[in-house]
Structure 1
């Protein structure tokens, strides 16, 4: 890939990232994510802690495992959302947000199937909601950072557009 083509793709990607960070979809997703983090913390420190004390040994182990999966999943989502907010507020360049260290990680933990039974309904509800949120953010991450090169402007078409602009539109 030529340097101009790479710069064109990077510039296009930066525009996509900035557009998303300024969108209503981002705002709603960010608010939902932060609310879910707060609700989960409250549950795990309060009602969840009390409910876990009455569980059988096997259920208590499942509760511990699933609560760790829940917090891992939510921390991945929250970190990703905070990066997008940093782009929106100008604290981070959109191209910096493309770095692998800002992608969702721990996918094998976050997406693993739960085999836990007999868990408190509060925990099950949080697990389900966090999984749906994680999958939406995962989809956004893939579309914005992973699959974007497949949809980037074709280098020849980019050159033709530049020629049209320079020559006043043929």
Structure 2
């Protein structure tokens, strides 16, 4: 992922989401949450703290990987630092009292944050050898072309 440009995309996506959410929570989110009923207001406060925590964990992970890719620190140094930051678990379900009353943008940021967080956690597990890379998608034209080139040049 690092060499394929996938990390740069993930990094930009993650940092962009972090900036968007911070601006939202500090601006429009305050205004949108002001009129919520008690249940929704409590849920908004809880979810904004959870989202902020997850995004800060993501930022730490992304910045450590960025430092490794730019040669600022070694992979071993990054691994030692990452051991200090534990990813919080994503809720298995969303909903409950007040969920439907949350501002639409807040629910959207929560969903985006959950998807990005799940991708980073999966990549982290693959990197640590806890999971294997998913098999190449034969439907993917690029993957199929690379497989053909490998066969043509006798490499597996």
TM over 0.5: yes
TM-score, scaled relative to structure 1: 0.69
Unmatched 5+ residue regions in structure 1?
1-19, 152-170
Find the aligned partners of 2:25 and 2:15 in 1 and give their Cα distance.
15
2:20 maps to 39
Q: Structure with the greater relative contact order (CA < 8 A, sep ≥ 6): 1 or 2? A: 1
CA RMSD of aligned residues (A): 1.9
Between structures 1 and 2, the one with greater helix share: 1
Aligned match for 2:61, one of 80, 101, 104: 80
Residues 16-55 of structure 1: pairs in structure 2 closer than 5 A: 20-55=1-36
Select which of 109, 132, 136 maps to 2:119: 136
> 2:38 — aligned with what?
57
Query: CA-to-partner distance for each residue in 1:74-102, whole Å, 9 max, x for gaps?
Result: 11111100000000111110122222x41
- Structure 1 consecutive aligned stretches of length 4 or more whose deviation exceeds 2 Å: 20-23, 113-116
**What is the SS of the residue equivalent to 1:21?**
coil
Unaligned 5+ residue runs, structure 2?
A: 134-156
Tell me by how many angstroms 1:106 deviates.
3.9
1:102 and 2:82 matched: yes
CA contact (8 A) 1:21 1:87 kept: no
